[in-house]
Amino acid sequence: MARFEIDDVADFVVVGTGAGGATAARVLSAAGHSVLMLEEGGWLRTEDRPRDMVGAMAASMRDAGAQATRDAAPMPLLQGVAVGGSTAINSGIIWRLPEDVRTSWTRDHGLGELVDARGLDAAFDAIERDLEVAETSDDLLGHNGGLMRTAAERRGLPGRAMVRNSKRCEGSGECLQGCLTEARRSMDVSYVPMAMRDGARLHTHCRVSHVERRWGRAVGVVGDVLGADRKPSGRFRVRARRGVIIAAGVLHTPVILLRSGLRGQVGKRFQAHPGSAIVGRFAHAVGQGGGATQAYEIPMRARGFKIESLSMPPEMLTARLPGVGAEWMERIAQLDHHAHWVAQCRFEAMGRVRVGFDGRPAVTYHPTARDVGVLLDGLALVAELMFEVGAEEVYPGVHGVPEVLRSVDEVAALRRPGITRADLHMVASHLFGTAVAGRSARDSVVGPSLEAHALRGLYVMDASVFPTNLGVNPQHSIMGVVHRASAQLANQERAGRWRWAS
Ligand SMILES: Cc1cc2nc3c(=O)[nH]c(=O)nc-3n(C[C@H](O)[C@H](O)[C@H](O)COP(=O)(O)OP(=O)(O)OC[C@H]3O[C@@H](n4cnc5c(N)ncnc54)[C@H](O)[C@@H]3O)c2cc1C
Ligand code: SF4
């Protein structure tokens, strides 16, 4: 019997097909290299994706959305596990790398070449053309987003219609379940097929366990082929003639690196943008379903948070309504009268990812008192904005604060001292920093070219390499940085710097 169910070879093997992996595959294959993509999840065809939220989460999210930090108050960490990675389940919000972050990465982390303004802007321009990036039009704001715009205008806040990679959006409000019309240009319907048109190949249901090395360089990966039950049904090996690119996302990339013998800063600088939502009830219908899933935002960068409209399917919104019995039934009967807005925060806390006893990522992460203050400030502003546009009731969802606020004066309860992390529920879907890039091998895992300091021919190309979080939605910055690094790699390999024959 063959030892490996799949035994394959390519110039470059790319592990993971999310924002980072798919971009690397697209750039390298367009430059004429042979590329093989490995993806733990399946390729969920648009028409086969479950439309109900619970089914959609089970089909496309890591642990059906139950992956969380290990803590007395666990924080869910949402990630996609499918072709397209987390982009297959996201809202398509697009932000270029903020200038203050670019400056800090240049000055404090020696990444000036990687994030050089001209080069990075050219990468962003190319991605925006490829992924049909456009500002959300007024008719797609929906009432949920439209109400937020009115609130921002009344308070003189810097709100804006979101820029998203879905110019042809029809406003079905179902981005998280997968876009039926494929208007949202997630990686599974854009860069993965584009790379395949240029000759790249893809093996799905292949979970990489570690990188193989020979003569001091990375020469391939091995792992498990997964069956329909997601359990191992065989082994695979893929050899890489020129480079191994790990892009398994912020929690799984460090696990692969640690299993492959890398140490130092691997897993140590985990960061996030945790967020929490507030629901408000209005006298008139709000209608969650009308408009884009996420449409309007109010960036409050100096205060460390951003407010976003987020339409929720009924089964999720219902879970946020307070009360029991007749009171609860009365609120449910008015489900379409509720707005749902989120405060997404740039936390300062740094956590750590280790390999857990079960072989999966074990994440420790403790938001600081300052972080708790930032989130409460964001939630208080959300509540004030809802009252500004006529909310009758606001449900803050914070332990120790009344579960229903009925006037703007009651919002002060969210600013009272004594509320701790354990009183708050948060979710994080923007994750960073477990294999950071930098100049020195002591302080970072990969150099400015994203090649590992400790192993030649091994590259990390996902959000793990970000030395700090951003304060804005990350997919575009990830794609931009990887676009640049993989274009440099393609050119360097074409010039024949490394040549390793299998
Ligand atoms: C619900 C949700 C909504 C979001 N909304 C937005 C948004 O609107 N705008 C925005 O900018 N960002 C958004 N984000 C964040 C954004 O999608 C991620 O930051 C980005 O996709 C991360 O890119 P990545 O390449 O690091 O990892 P991912 O995109 O997560 O890709 C990692 C891939 O690696 C695969 N993988 C993992 N382990 C292995 C293994 N051992 N072997 C093989 N394959 C493996 C995974 O299955 C996955 O496909 C959202 C995220 C979520 C979860
Ligand atoms: S709101 Fe609907 S049509 Fe628009 S991008 Fe999202 S899923 Fe597609």
Paired tokens of 413: 């309860």
Does residue 465's CB lie within 6 angstroms of at least one atom of ligand 1? no
Which residue among 36, 86, 358, 431 has the greatest number of ligand 1 atoms within 8 angstroms of its CB, and so is best to mutate?
86
Q: Where are the beta strands (DSSP E) in 383-476?
A: 393-395, 427-432, 458-460
Cα 316 to Cα 173: distance, rounded to the nearest angstrom: 13
Of 383, 310, 300, 385, which Cα lies nearest the Cα of 346?
300
In sequence order, what are the beta bridge partners of 243?
12
* Nearest atom, ligand 1, residue 83 CA: 49
What is the predicted pLDDT for the residue at 496? 56
71-103 confidence digits (pLDDT tens)? 888 999 999 999 999 999 999 999 999 999 999
Domain 138-164+272-349+368-425: top CATH class: alpha beta
What is the predicted pLDDT for the residue at 495? 60
Residues with CB under 6 A from ligand 2: 92, 166, 169-175, 179, 181, 183-184, 292-293
* Nearest atom, ligand 2, residue 91 CA: 6
Cα 480 to Cα 486: distance, rounded to the nearest angstrom: 10
Does residue 195's CB lie within 6 angstroms of at least one atom of ligand 1? no
- In the block, which residue shows the tokens 């690397």? 24
The terminus-to-terminus CA distance of the chain in angstroms comes to 23
Does residue 178's CB lie within 6 angstroms of at least one atom of ligand 1? no
268-309 confidence digits (pLDDT tens)? 999 999 999 999 999 999 876 689 999 999 999 999 999 999
Cα 292 to Cα 140: distance, rounded to the nearest angstrom: 6
404-424 confidence digits (pLDDT tens)? 999 999 999 999 999 999 999
> How far away, in angstroms, is 188 Cα from ligand 1 center?
12
What is the predicted pLDDT for the residue at 12? 98
Fold of 6-44+79-130+183-269+435-494: FAD/NAD(P)-binding domain (3.50.50)
Cα 337 to Cα 284: distance, rounded to the nearest angstrom: 6
Which residue among 36, 87, 427 has the greatest number of ligand 1 atoms within 8 angstroms of its CB, and so is best to mutate?
87
Residues 322/308, Cβ–Cβ less than 8 Å: no
Chain CA centroid to CA 421, Å = 22
What is the predicted pLDDT for the residue at 497? 45
Q: Average pLDDT over the chain, rounded to whole?
A: 95
What is the predicted pLDDT for the residue at 423? 96
What is the predicted pLDDT for the residue at 407? 97
Residues 70/251, Cβ–Cβ less than 8 Å: no
Tell me which residue has its CA closest to atom 27 in ligand 1.
249
Helix (H, G, I), strand (E, B) or coil at 231: coil
Report CA Rg, the chain. Answer: 23
Cα 427 to Cα 319: distance, rounded to the nearest angstrom: 15
DSSP string spanning 46-82?
GGGS-SSHHHHHHHHBGGGGT-B-SSSS--BB--B-S
> How far away, in angstroms, is 145 Cα from ligand 2 center?
14
* Nearest atom, ligand 2, residue 292 CA: 1
Helix (H, G, I), strand (E, B) or coil at 424: coil
Cα 351 to Cα 335: distance, rounded to the nearest angstrom: 38
* Nearest ligand, CA 472: 1
Helix (H, G, I), strand (E, B) or coil at 414: helix
Q: Which residues contact 271 (CB under 8 A, 6 or more apart)?
A: 347, 349, 350, 351, 431, 432, 433, 466, 468, 469
Residues of the chain with pLDDT under 70: 1-2, 288-289, 494-502
Cα 69 to Cα 500: distance, rounded to the nearest angstrom: 40
| Residue boundaries of the structural domains of the chain | 6-44+79-130+183-269+435-494, 138-164+272-349+368-425
* Nearest ligand, CA 171: 2
* Nearest ligand, CA 67: 1
